[in-house]
């Protein structure tokens, strides 16, 4: 039995992890505090910590974790850009993640953002509730026949491609690995520059790496079609948000749907409804009539939460038994 300390635990984490641990194979302690340097003081005897997307395991934190006897960082998410893997390796701390949980959850959320923006559901919902049944300003466009550009055709990007093909769209994709099954289904792999210049809608599904940071920037935006719809459910750092704000102001970007934001760790998963938001870039974004921001909810379906809890506990069990760590990140 392992003692596991959870950082950034929300009510749903507690619920789904307790369900997955009905046999009592592990002992849990849940904290709503995030992992950072100060909060390492909250570790007691736990050899495993379980963290989420905005918990910071940088070199300083990892050094303290090592001193405290932590042996395993179990990420209950797919992305791992918030963990210094080199520091973890030299501290002898293993890092595991949940590489693939319902890719449908995130892909379907990307489609949700696209449809909501195109047909302006957020406006019509409020209008009708206010007794206003007019249509001015709600005009959208048929997705049928449009060109969709997808960056990253891994688990999520591949599902997104197939959904868009179902709408009768032409799909151009870019990835460093091409998937033959998608090619057979009619997805055409092209350069990133071609995706950017040809697409009516661009959706980002690649991980955040040094090579992918700010792939959407002032230069690449200038090559995009005027009126392009940009969707990002991957990681905020893929987009230079200030450049996107400029392009929204001058109309080059027609609509923006994001579930992730560069500075989200200061805001997302917390309730600031009674406070003054200090982030001027996000605040500006939320003033545009053609921008929808959701707070990293792409993964948030019953199916995904069940899989996340089960795979995370399996990862921890494998570590405990000394088995090969199939979901290790190095
Ligand atoms: P994956 O690892 O299956 O696919 C990522 C794909 O990106 C791979 O095919 C890879 O070859 C490709 N790629 C890597 N570098 C690239 C580059 N320079 N240019 C083009 N493609 C490149 O990952 P998965 O599961 O599809 O997730 C994608 C991203 O979605 C994750 O990295 C994560 O950041 C994000 N995500 C967001 C969630 C949310 O709730 N909004 C939940 C889960 C994941």
Calculate how far, in angstroms, residue 12's C-alpha sits from the geometric centre of ligand 1. Answer: 24
Calculate how far, in angstroms, residue 201's C-alpha sits from the geometric centre of ligand 1. Answer: 18
Centroid of chain to Cα 275: 25
Diameter of the chain measured on Cα atoms: 64
Calculate how far, in angstroms, residue 156's C-alpha sits from the geometric centre of ligand 1. Answer: 7
Q: Which atom of ligand 1 is nearest to the CA of 156?
A: 26
Question: For 205-223, what is each residue's pLDDT tens digit?
Answer: 999 999 999 999 999 999 9
Specify the length of the chain in residues. Answer: 330
Say which of 46, 262, 264, 265 is annotated catalytic.
264
DSSP annotation string for 101-167: S-HHHHHHHHHHHHHHHHHTHHHHHHHHHTT----TT------TT-EEEEE--SHHHHHHHHHHHHT
pLDDT at 100: 86
Nearest CA to ligand 1 atom 43: 78
Which residues fall within 8 angstroms of residue 130, CB to CB, at 6 or more apart? none
Q: Which residues line ligand 1 (CB under 6 A)?
A: 78-79, 100, 103, 106, 151-157, 174-177, 205-209, 211-212, 233-235, 259-260, 296, 298-299
Backbone angles phi, psi at 324, to 5 degrees: -60, 135
Say which of 97, 109, 174, 296 is annotated catalytic.
296
Is the pLDDT at 79 greater than 90? The verdict is no
Question: Which tokens in the block code for residue 91?
Answer: 């501290």
pLDDT at 318: 97
| Crossing angle (nearest 10°) for helices 121-129 and 103-119 | 60
Is the pLDDT at 258 greater than 90? The verdict is yes
Question: For 145-185, what is each residue's pLDDT tens digit?
Answer: 999 999 999 999 999 999 999 999 999 999 999 999 999 99
CA 253 → CA 64, 141, 145, 188, 249, distances in Å? Answer: 44, 15, 20, 24, 8
Catalytic-residue membership of 235: yes
Q: Measuring CA to CA, which residue among 245, 281, 287, 248 is closest to residue 264?
A: 281
Average pLDDT value for residue range 267-273:
92
> Residue with structure tokens 């501290």?
91
Which ranges in the chain are annotated with CATH 3.40.50.720? Answer: 2-101+301-321, 103-293
Q: Which atom of ligand 1 is nearest to the CA of 260?
A: 41
Average pLDDT value for residue range 27-34:
96
CATH number for the domain running over 103-293: 3.40.50.720
Mean pLDDT of the chain: 97
CATH number for the domain running over 2-101+301-321: 3.40.50.720
């Amino acid at each position: 039995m392992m003692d596991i300390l959870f950082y950034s635990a929300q009510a749903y984490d507690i619920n789904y992890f307790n369900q997955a641990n009905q046999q009592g194979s592990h002992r849990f302690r849940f904290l709503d505090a995030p992992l950072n340097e100060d909060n390492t003081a909250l570790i007691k005897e736990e050899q495993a910590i379980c963290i989420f997307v905005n918990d910071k395991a940088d070199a300083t934190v990892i050094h303290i974790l090592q001193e405290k006897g932590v042996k395993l960082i179990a990420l209950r998410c797919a992305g791992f850009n918030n963990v210094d893997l080199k520091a973890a390796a030299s501290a002898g701390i293993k890092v595991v993640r949940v590489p693939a949980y319902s890719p449908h959850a995130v892909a379907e959320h990307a489609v949700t953002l696209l449809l909501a923006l195109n047909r302006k559901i957020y406006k019509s919902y409020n209008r009708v509730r206010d007794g206003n049944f007019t249509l001015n300003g709600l005009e959208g466009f048929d997705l049928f026949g449009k060109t969709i550009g997808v960056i990253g055709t891994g688990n999520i990007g591949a599902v997104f491609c197939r959904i868009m093909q179902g709408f009768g769209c032409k799909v151009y994709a870019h990835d460093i690995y091409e998937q033959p099954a998608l090619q057979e289904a009619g997805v055409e792999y092209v350069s990133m520059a071609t995706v950017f210049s040809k697409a009516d809608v661009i959706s980002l599904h690649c991980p955040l790496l040094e090579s992918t940071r700010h792939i959407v920037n002032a230069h690449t935006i200038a090559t995009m079609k005027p009126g392009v719809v940009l969707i990002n459910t991957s990681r905020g750092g893929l987009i230079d948000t200030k450049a996107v704000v400029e392009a929204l102001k001058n109309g080059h970007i027609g609509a923006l749907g994001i579930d992730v934001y560069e500075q989200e760790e200061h805001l997302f998963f917390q309730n600031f409804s009674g406070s003054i938001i200090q982030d001027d870039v996000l605040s500006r974004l939320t003033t545009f009539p053609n921008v929808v921001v959701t707070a990293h909810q792409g993964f948030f379906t019953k199916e995904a939460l069940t899989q996340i809890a089960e795979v995370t506990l399996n990862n921890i069990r494998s570590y405990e038994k000394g088995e090969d760590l199939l979901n290790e990140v190095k």
